[in-house]
Amino acid sequence: MSDFSPADILAQALPYIRKFHGKTLVIKYGGNAMTDPALQKAFAEDVVLLKLVGMNPVVVHGGGPQIEGLLQRLGKKGEFIEGMRVTDAETMEVVEWVLGGEVQQDIVGLINQAGGKAVGLTGRDGAMIRAKKLTVHDSKDPSKEYDVGQVGDIVSIDPSVVKALQDDAFIPVVSPIGFGENNESYNINADVVAAKLATVLSAEKLLMLTNIRGVLDKAGELLTELTPRRIDELIADGTISGGMIPKIAGALDAAKSGVNAVHIIDGRVPHAMLLEVLTEQAFGTMIRSH
């Protein structure tokens, strides 16, 4: 970007500002961008700027490291099965306290400090995220099931509370906690919540901030664009594995369900999100529906 003068960058941004005015952008906020103070500040400024130029950002956040940190302080060891955190009742209390409290309010505070008006929500607010217990199958033997406790699968999302806030100049910040038919709480993968929310809001873009440059091939080269067929190949040969699988699966679902563009971008680059939305530069991997 050093070749550009500030005027060049602003001129390049204009068509994108015009194109995305009034459009919804769902942003999955995670990784280093959430834990490095300078990146936190840059992220909050980006969100506020996108709102000020007429777009409607909605933030969905994770909080794995923060949950892990508190569980350790409480002397509780985190257990994972097939990439899912085993969530008993005590762990669920910690998850709700960390995600719906500490992490969410930190993000709300940062956005407000940057000049925005953020409002924190969990899936309970406005009866937004209805969930049921997630069934987890063994990756090698699909007939084998695991009980991972209060980990949820989304039944439905009612986005009316998010829409009401957006229309009123607020920036919604959503914690990935859903509720079941008996009012029990469920911990849901934040990538999955972001993808589903982008779908029900008919978002223009889904931006997923991660700790890598995007999806890399076996040689470590960045894949700037992916199609469903290529994704299947990369999962089959193990290039995409572990925690990247739900991220990519959610992104692909969103792309197939009408979200115009899904980007997996490097949250370690200051203002990467802004550069992705407002310039021609590709800052990660774009997932297409076909």
Cα of 284 vs its chain's centroid, Å = 15
Token code pair at residue 213? 């440059």
Please say whether the beta carbons of 173 and 166 come within 8 A: no
Residue 178 in marked binding region: no
DSSP secondary structure string for all residues of 225-275: EE-HHHHHHHHHTTSS-TTHHHHHHHHHHHHHTT-SEEEEEETTSTTHHHH
Residue 78 in marked binding region: no
Q: Cα(263)–Cα(25) distance, rounded to whole angstroms?
A: 11
Residue 187 in marked binding region: yes
Instruction: Report the chain's terminal Cα–Cα distance, integer Å.
Output: 30
Residue 85 in marked binding region: yes
Token code pair at residue 242? 């572990």
CA distances from 1 to 219, 238, 266, 268, 281 (A): 25, 33, 15, 16, 9
Residue list for the binding site: 63-64, 85, 187
Binding-site residues from annotation for substrate:
63-64, 85, 187
